[in-house]
Amino acid sequence: MSANYVSLAYLAAAVLFILALKGLSSPVSARRGNLFGMVGMVIAVLTTLTVTHNVAYILIAIAAGGAVGAVIAKRIQMTAMPELVAAMHSLVGLAAVLIAMAAFNNPVAYGIGETLHASNRIELFIGTFVGAITFTGSIIAFGKLSGKLGSKPLRFAGQHWLNLALGIAMVGFGIAFFITQSWTPFLIMTAIAMLIGVLLIMPIGGADMPVVISMLNSYSGWAAAGIGFTLNNNMLIIAGSLVGSSGAILSYIMCKAMNRSFFNVILGGFGGEATAAEQGGGVQRTYRSGSADDAAFLMGNADSVIIVPGYGLAVARAQHAINEMSKVLTEKGVKVRYAIHPVAGRMPGHMNVLLAEAEVPYEQVVEMDEINNEFADTDVVLVIGANDVVNPAAKNDKSSPIYGMPILEAHKARTVLVVKRSMATGYAGLDNDLFYMDKTMMVFGDAKKVVEDIIKSLA
């Protein structure tokens, strides 16, 4: 195929990718959108196939990788979506690094020319280090999300200085590569970028993962776009930029939902020292606790119940149980709804997918801004596996580290039930005044177990 036809086919694929993203504006059009995306990818791959040799090897590689991807997509638990997404980001990052190496190895084959122009070398440098950071950073994020590494932030003195020094060293070797055009500085630069990826994500704790995973999503797009610059390939540039800006917007939305700046999250905002002191010096406060039967009695006699799910729901895999419970309550004439905080869970939209999996009716699931006015008119709020997102200190206590963060105003309801494993603090390490209010009753235990007991008691 001539270069013009190839470019036109890429244009068609690019339009289909845009339609795929556009489809996600509503659940009704989303499935068709995904189909557009698939068609776009098929067009892009078939078109490229007409200009390459080694077609047999290429098809074998696609079949092998595709089979692995298909099996994973079929088997993965919905609760494990965050770690799957992180793992897939790392693949894109590594692929970008490998392609950059291949291009550097034999620039003529990619139409770059006998010698690398100055702009080629800069593009190669950027594509490689973004890819390398995405690769290792995503592996660490995967480890934290899947529980293989502790989700606790790992910090040490001088961390930021080390990162800065490594960053400067990386640029230094990048410049050396620019001048000498040899492998040694290129490989050292890549290795340093990989180390930076690890060091960047290690200090970030579990509840900040929605930001991290969005950021890595963004990086994986920029890595693809960077490779597109190197190969002078508009397909890669367009698709990569779409993904890059999508991830950037998600990071922004997540940061806003925590009232923190992006740099605050990435550089490790919630320092250990101040909050630890607060905990140690705190007086023993009294709270009320009750059984699942008490909770069932309160909810069974209520007119309206709002359920606030959090990461604990995902950990306990209680989404099906909670849907059973709301069905029983609905049959009793109780109005049940779910209130979703944007950063509930470990990735954007995590709670929505879990509830969708359990077949919770769409209209019962309400976003924070729409439901916050209704807490005051609600009889019972059931907080299940959530903590910081319902902490009234974010509204009332100017000295609190989370002051200003938008919260679900559960404290305004007539009665608050909190299902939790213990009185331990949430991610931010803060005590939650909600737990000590007169109208609050704590129900201790595993979320799934408690909900199942409530169902038994309601029946």
Partner 1 sequence: MTGAVDPFVLNLTVFVLAIFIGYHVVWNVTPALHTPLMAVTNAISGIIIVGAMLAAGPEKLDIGTVLGLVALTLAAVNVFGGFLVTQRMLDMFKKKNK
Measured in degrees and rounded to the nearest 5, phi and psi for residue 115 equal -110, 150
b vs e for 418-456, b when ≥16 Cβ sit within 10 Å of the residue's Cβ?
bbbeeeebbbbbbbbbbbebeebbbbebbbbebbbbbbe
350 touches partner 1 by CB under 8 A: yes
**2, 53, 157, 438: which one binds partner 1 (CB under 8 A):** 53
Binding residue for partner 1, selected from 37, 143, 426, 429, defined by CB under 8 A: 37
- Check binding of 271 to partner 1 (CB under 8 A): no
What residues from 78 to 107 belong to the interface with partner 1 (CB under 8 A)?
78, 81, 84-85, 88-89, 91-92, 94-96, 98-99, 101-103, 105-106
Distance CA 293, CA 297 (A): 6
Shortest spacing between CB 347 and partner 1, in angstroms: 6
Distance from C-alpha of 328 to C-alpha of 334, rounded to nearest angstrom: 9
Window of 62-70, 273-281, 380-388, 420-428 that interacts with partner 1 by CB under 8 A: 62-70
Binding mask 303-342 for partner 1 (x = CB under 8 A): -------------------------------------x-x
CB nearer partner 1, residue 353 or residue 437:
353
- Nearest-angstrom CA–CA distance, 20 and 36: 5
Residue 421 CB, nearest distance to partner 1 (Å)? 25
Q: Smallest distance from the beta carbon of 322 to partner 1, in angstroms?
A: 15
Binding characters for partner 1, 372-411, by CB under 8 A (x = yes) = ----------------------------------------
State the nearest-atom distance from the C-beta of 433 to partner 1, in Å: 27
Shortest spacing between CB 237 and partner 1, in angstroms:
5
Q: Catalytic site residue 388?
A: yes
Candidate segments 38-46, 184-192, 408-416, 419-427, binder of partner 1 by CB under 8 A: 38-46
> Which position among 353, 397, 421, 445 is part of the footprint of partner 1 (CB under 8 A)?
353
Return the residues of window 166-225 that contact partner 1 according to CB under 8 A.
213-214, 217, 220-221, 223-225
Region 6-35 residues binding partner 1, contact defined as CB under 8 A = 14, 17-18, 20-22, 24-28, 30-31, 33-34
Kindly tell me which residue out of 278, 324, 357, 446 binds partner 1, with binding defined by CB under 8 A. 357
- The piece of 50-58, 182-190, 193-201, 302-310 that touches partner 1 (CB under 8 A) is 50-58
Minimum distance from CB of 225 to partner 1 (Å)? 6
Catalytic residue among 293, 303, 379, 388: 388
Between 5 and 301, whose beta carbon lies closer to partner 1? 5
**Interface of this chain with partner 1, residues 214 to 253, rule: CB under 8 A:** 214, 217, 220-221, 223-225, 227-229, 231-247, 249-250, 253
Q: Indicate which residues carry an active-site annotation.
A: 388
